[in-house]
A = this chain, B = another copy of it.
Amino acid sequence: MMLLVDDHGNTYLIKGDAEFHTKYGLLTAAQIKNAKPGDLLTSNTGRTFHVIEPNITDYVQKASRGPQAMTLKDLSIIAGFTGLHSGSRVLEAGTGSGVLSIFLANIVAPAVLSTYDIREDFAEIARKNFAKFGITNIEAKLKDIYSGIDETDLDLVTLDLAEPWLAVPHATKALKIGGYLSSYSPSISQSKKLVDSLGEGYWHETFETLKRDWKMDAVRPHTQMLGHTGFITIARLLSR
């Protein structure tokens, strides 16, 4: 796979070596086939495309996704605030379009990340996304986390669910002592219910993060801003 980047910063993920059409013109099969990182390809309309190797951050942005999927900021915060690294044992629910699965699997590899969802349609989108990017260390299960967790001795249980508090008793059993429970909720009412369900055995904090992009030629923030994604709760199991 390779990534094309045009003059506007738009990116195009290329698999195989078929000719490639963009709104800025055509790149021939021969151009695609011979391209390697650092090359500059010119389309039949004279527009140029940089060739680079794709990164996990490109996959995250290219994944088919639902309307409320987490942004890179939230993915980064969840991985960073729970100290993930190669070998960390992670369970995720629900899978959704698999964006968080992909991001975390890249960090914990070669460990296999487990992810649950109860909706067959989401599981299907996620599986396609995993295949598209060649990510193999994810085990996606069609399973309801509210009924229990198969895995044990986990470093992280990460939730993106409508009723995360229903997963707490199961997480408490599945986590290792000192392990993390993280939950992402659009509404603060959901976060409140989750926090109220945690009990004495967890230390926890709830916060939101804002990413404010700057327009550097004018040295000012951009006018339009993503004002909200979700509230994040990070809880740590101290005792069962």
Contacts and interface: CB of A to CB of B under 8 A. Distances in A.
Contacts of A238: 5, 50, 52
B239 A50 contact: yes
Interface residues on A, range: 35 or more
A51 B80 CA distance: 22
Given A3-B178, A57-B83, A223-B226, A231 B210 contact: no
Contacts of A192: 216, 219
Contacts of A53: 176-178
A28 interface: no
A23 interface: no
List the 6 closest pairs (A to B, CB-CB), nearest first.
A76-B80, A225-B227, A52-B178, A86-B86, A221-B228, A50-B238
One complex includes copies of this chain to the number of 4
B188 A220 contact: yes
Nearest to A38: B177
A200 to B, nearest CB: 9
Contact of A214 (B5, B83, B206): B206
Contacts of A83: 55-57, 106
B5 A203 contact: yes
A30 interface: no
A18 interface: no
Interface in A178-236: 178, 180, 186-189, 191-192, 195, 203, 205-214, 216, 218-229, 231, 236
A146 B233 CA distance: 37
19 contacts: A40-B239, A50-B238, A52-B238, A53-B177, A55-B178, A55-B180, A57-B80, A57-B82, A187-B218, A187-B219, A192-B219, A208-B211, A209-B212, A212-B227, A212-B228, A220-B228, A224-B226, A224-B227, A225-B225
Contact of A227 (B76, B186, B221): B221
A210 B212 contact: yes
A158 to B, nearest CB: 14
Report which residue of A40, A50, A218, A229 has the largest number of chain B beta carbons within 10 angstroms of its beta carbon.
Answer: A50
A69 interface: no
A79 interface: yes
A73 interface: yes
Contacts of A13: none
A166 interface: no
